[in-house]
Amino acid sequence: MTVSMTVSAAEFDRLWAQVEPVGRVASGGYRRFAWTREDLALREWFAAACAERGLDLTVDLAGNQWAWWGNPDDAGPGVAIGSHLDSVPDGGAFDGPLGVVSSLLVVDSLRRSGVRPTRPLGVVNFADEEGARFGVACGGSRLLTGALAVGRALALRDDQGTSLAEALRGAGREPEDLAADRLALGRVGCFVELHVEQGRGLVDLGRPVAVGTAIWGHGRWRFELPGEANHAGTTRLADRRDPTLAHATLVLRARELAQRHGIVATCAKVRVDPNGVNAIPSLVTGWLDARGDDDTAVRAMVAEFTQAVAEVGGTVTEESWTDRTPFDVGLATRLSEALDGAPCLPTGAGHDAGILANAGVPTAMLFVRNPTGVSHSPAEYAEPEDCLAGVRELARVVKGLLG
C-alpha cells in the first residue's frame, strides 16, 4: 500500500507561525535562552501542541520534554525524533524549531495516512541545547545521559551571575530534582534529529535533504588574561599591563594555528573587566571554540594555543569537549537508501543527537538545505519547499523505523 505522507504548506505555516514570534528581537534574530520567559513560553507551546495531538507529555529528570505516541514502558524502546527550541544570541529561526515543528507534523502525517506504529514514537524538545546562557552546549541531553555532572551544572552561572540552580527555581522547577535519567533514556531505541543545515553542503549538491554521518570533535575553552587596572590617561605606555593586547595577539594566533592544523577556531566571546573606556582593564576573559574532523588535530591546536596563553601570563580552562561522534553507520546507510540516495554529510555543529550517540543510542540526523549556509544568525534560512521535503523525508524514515 502506498500512502501519501505529504504535509501541506498551510499546515506547516500554521504550526510555524505559533513559534515564530517568540523571543524575536530587533535584529530579526531570536533570543530564546534556557529557562527564561521566552524559553518557558516555547515549552508551554510544545506541551500544548502535544496535548492537541493526544500525546503523553513527560519531563525527564534533566528537564527535557518528551511526548510519546504509544507507551514506551510497555512496548518500548521506541523511535524518538525532535530537536530543541532555544537559540544562541540573535540566532536564526530554524536552528532547533525546524526539527521540533517537522516532528509534530510527522506525527500528523503518519496518523492521517493510517500508520499504526508497532513501536512507540516520541517527540522530544531538548532543554538548553545551545548553551547560550550557562556556557555548556547540549546541557539537557548531557544531563540526561550523565555526561554532565549535576553538581557542576547547578553551579554554572550566566552573565548576570544567576546560577542554573536559581534559574531552574525561577522557572518553577526544583533544582534538587535535577539528575541523569536512565529510565527516560532507556525509552529511546533510536533517535533521528532533523535540523537545518549549517553549511553549504546541500547547496553545492543541489539536493534538499542530506543524512548526517558524524559530528566533528568540538570544545570550548576559557582563557583568562590578568592585567593591571590603571588610568588610561596618566599611565605611560611603558608602564602598562594591558591584557587587551594579549587578547588581540591570541585571537590572531588562534586563526593561524587553526589554519595550520586544518581545523576551525573562533574567539567570538570576550569579557573585559571593568569594561570602562578610560580604564586599563584588570582582566580580559576570552573564549576559544575549536572544532575539526580529526580530534588529534583539534587537541594539538588547543595545546599550542594553551602554550601561547601561558607565555603571556594567562590560564586556560576547558569548559567542554566532545570527541568526534560518528552516527550509526547502518542507520545512516538505511536512511540514505530510503531517501533515494540522499547525500551523506558530516557537520561541524554540535547537536543533542551527538550526545545520545555517545551514550550508545543508535542515532541519525537529517539536514535540510540552507540556501546561504549561514546559521546562528538572523540570515539563517530554509525555503518553504525544502522544509516540506524535510517533513516528508522524516516521515518516510520514521515509517520505516516503526515497521
- Nearer to Zn ion by Cβ, of 214 and 246: the residue is 214
Composition of the chain by helix, strand, coil, percent to 5: 40, 25, 35
Pick the piece of the chain touching Zn ion (CB under 5 A) from 96-104, 153-161, 224-232, 333-341. 96-104
CB 187 within 8 Å of CB 70:
no
Interface of this chain with Zn ion, residues 323 to 342, rule: CB under 5 A: none
Which positions from 25 to 44 touch Zn ion by CB under 5 A, shown as an x/- string?
A: --------------------
Q: How far is the CB of 298 from Zn ion (least distance, A)?
A: 20
Q: How far is the CB of 277 from Zn ion (least distance, A)?
A: 36
- Nearer to Zn ion by Cβ, of 193 and 393: the residue is 193
Cα–Cα distance measured from residue 106 to residue 101, given in angstroms and rounded to the nearest whole number: 9
- Nearer to Zn ion by Cβ, of 96 and 135: the residue is 96
Which positions from 134 to 163 touch Zn ion by CB under 5 A, shown as an x/- string?
A: ------------------------------
Pick the piece of the chain touching Zn ion (CB under 5 A) from 21-29, 89-97, 314-322, 326-334. 89-97
- Nearer to Zn ion by Cβ, of 72 and 96: the residue is 96
Residue 335's region, left for phi above 0, alpha for psi from -120 to 50, else beta, is alpha
CB 346 within 8 Å of CB 291:
no
95 binds Zn ion (CB under 5 A): yes
Q: Which of 388, 1, 36, 373 is nearest to 205 (CA)?
A: 373
Q: How far is the CB of 267 from Zn ion (least distance, A)?
A: 22
Q: How far is the CB of 320 from Zn ion (least distance, A)?
A: 16
- Nearer to Zn ion by Cβ, of 95 and 128: the residue is 95
- Nearer to Zn ion by Cβ, of 97 and 217: the residue is 97
Q: How far is the CB of 355 from Zn ion (least distance, A)?
A: 12
Strands 363-368 and 188-196: parallel
Burial status of residue 396 (CB atoms within 10 A of its CB: 0-12, 13-18, 19 or more): middle
- Nearer to Zn ion by Cβ, of 95 and 386: the residue is 95
Q: How far is the CB of 92 from Zn ion (least distance, A)?
A: 10
Pick the piece of the chain touching Zn ion (CB under 5 A) from 11-19, 88-96, 366-374, 383-391. 88-96
380 binds Zn ion (CB under 5 A): no
Measured CA to CA in angstroms, residue 144 lies from 126, 303, 307, 386 at distances of 10, 30, 35, 32
Q: How far is the CB of 174 from Zn ion (least distance, A)?
A: 27
Q: How far is the CB of 96 from Zn ion (least distance, A)?
A: 4
Neighbours of 128 (CB within 10 A): 30
CB 211 within 8 Å of CB 335:
yes
Query: DSSP 3-state assignment of 191?
Result: strand
The CA-to-CA distance between both ends of the chain, in Å, stands at 14
Q: How far is the CB of 284 from Zn ion (least distance, A)?
A: 29
In order, the DSSP letters of 129-178 are -S-TTTS-TTHHHHHHHTSS-HHHHHH-B-TTS-BHHHHHHHTT--GGG-
Pick the piece of the chain touching Zn ion (CB under 5 A) from 24-32, 90-98, 105-113, 170-178. 90-98
β-pair partners for 279: 231
- Nearer to Zn ion by Cβ, of 77 and 199: the residue is 199
Q: How far is the CB of 124 from Zn ion (least distance, A)?
A: 13
Neighbours of 262 (CB within 10 A): 12
Of the residues 23, 96, 286, 314, which one makes contact with Zn ion according to CB under 5 A = 96
Query: DSSP 3-state assignment of 338?
Result: helix
393 binds Zn ion (CB under 5 A): no
- 184-97-298 Cα angle (round to 5): 75
**What radius of gyration do the chain's Cα atoms show?**
22
Residue type, 355: I
- Nearer to Zn ion by Cβ, of 96 and 243: the residue is 96
- Nearer to Zn ion by Cβ, of 23 and 96: the residue is 96
Grid cell listed for 189: 531505541
Q: At residue 299, what are phi and psi to the nearest 5 degrees? A: -60, -40
Pick the piece of the chain touching Zn ion (CB under 5 A) from 95-103, 158-166, 185-193, 299-307. 95-103
Query: DSSP 3-state assignment of 386?
Result: helix
Binding site for Zn ion (CB under 5 A): 95-96
